[in-house]
Structure 1
Amino acid sequence: MSDAAAPKRGPVSLDGRMRQRLDWMARRALKLADLRSVLKRRRFGRLRNEFYETLWRDAAQELGADYSDIGGLKRISLNGLVTFVSHSDLMLDDVITTRVMAHKAVTYRLLSDKGYSVPDHCVFSLDRLGRARDFLTRMPGPIVVKPATGTGGGNGVTTGIRTQGELLRAALHAASFNAELLAEPMLSGSCYRLLYLDGQLLDAVRRDPPTVCGDGHSTIHALVKTENTNRLSRRPITALSPLVIDQDALHHLSAQGLKPAAAIPAGKPIVVKHAINENADRENHTVTGDLHPDIVSAGARLVTDLGVRFAGLDIIADDISAPLGANGVQFHEVNVGPGIHHHYLVADRSRATPVATRVLHYLFENRQGVMKV
Structure 2
Amino acid sequence: MPFTTSTIKKLAEEIGAVIVTDPEYSFVGHITFKNGNKTFFHTATFDINYFGSAAIAKDKGVSNFFLKQFGYQVTEGQRFFSYKVCEKLSNAKNIDAGFDYAKELGFPVIVKPINLSQGMFVTKVYNKQEYYQVAKKILKNNSGLIVERFYNGNDYRIVVLDDEVLSAYQRIPLFIKGDGKSNILELMRQKQENFLKSGRKKTIDFEDYRIKLKLQRQKLNFDSVISEDSIVYLLDNANLSSGGEAVDLTENIHPDFHKLAVNITKDMGLRLAGVDIITNDITLPMLYYTTIEVNASPGLTHYASTGEIQTKRVENLYLKVLKALENGQNTKLA
TM-score, normalised relative to structure 2: 0.82
Q: Are 1:57 and 2:6 matched, yes or no?
A: no
- Residue of structure 2 in register with 1:144 after alignment: 110
Counterpart of 2:72 (choices 116, 120, 125) is 116
Counterpart of 1:302 (choices 236, 258, 264) is 264
Task: Please state whether the residue corresponding to 2:215 is helix, strand or coil.
Answer: helix
Counterpart of 2:138 (choices 174, 179, 201) is 174
- Residue of structure 1 in register with 2:86 after alignment: none
- The answer as to whether partners of 2:155 and 2:279 remain within 8 angstroms in 1 is yes
1:306-355 deviation per Cα after TM superposition (whole angstroms, max 9, x unaligned): 2122211111111213333x1x2111111112113244132x43355132
* Pairs aligned (count): 315
Q: 1:158 is aligned with what amino acid?
A: T
CA distance in 2, matches of 1:272, 1:156: 14
Richer in helix (by share): 1
Give the aligned CA root-mean-square deviation in angstroms.
2.8
1:104-128 deviation per Cα after TM superposition (whole angstroms, max 9, x unaligned): 1111101111111111112223553
- The answer as to whether partners of 2:178 and 2:229 remain within 8 angstroms in 1 is yes
- The answer as to whether partners of 2:105 and 2:149 remain within 8 angstroms in 1 is yes
Q: Which has the higher contact order (CA 8 A, sep 6+)?
A: 2
Query: CA 1:266–1:321 in structure 2 vs 1: closer, same or farther (change >3 Å)?
Result: closer
Unpaired runs of at least 5, structure 2: 84-93
- Residue of structure 2 in register with 1:154 after alignment: 119
- Residue of structure 2 in register with 1:339 after alignment: 299
CA distance in 1, matches of 2:320, 2:172: 25
Tell which structure's C-alpha radius of gyration is larger: 1
Query: CA 1:342–1:198 in structure 2 vs 1: closer, same or farther (change >3 Å)?
Result: farther
Q: Are 1:350 and 2:329 matched, yes or no?
A: no
- Residue of structure 1 in register with 2:44 after alignment: 88
Query: CA 1:273–1:311 in structure 2 vs 1: closer, same or farther (change >3 Å)?
Result: same
CA distance in 2, matches of 1:212, 1:193: 22
- The answer as to whether partners of 2:110 and 2:150 remain within 8 angstroms in 1 is yes
Alignment of 1:1-373 (within 5 A): 49-70=1-22, 72=26, 73-80=28-35, 81-125=37-81, 127=83, 128-149=94-115, 151-159=116-124, 161-228=125-192, 231-232=195-196, 234=197, 236-239=198-201, 241-278=203-240, 283-324=245-286, 326=287, 328-346=288-306, 348-352=307-311, 353=313, 354=315, 355-364=317-326, 366-369=327-330
TM-score, normalised relative to structure 1: 0.75
Query: CA 1:300–1:156 in structure 2 vs 1: closer, same or farther (change >3 Å)?
Result: same
Which aligned runs of 4 or more in structure 1 are off by greater than 6 angstroms?
A: none
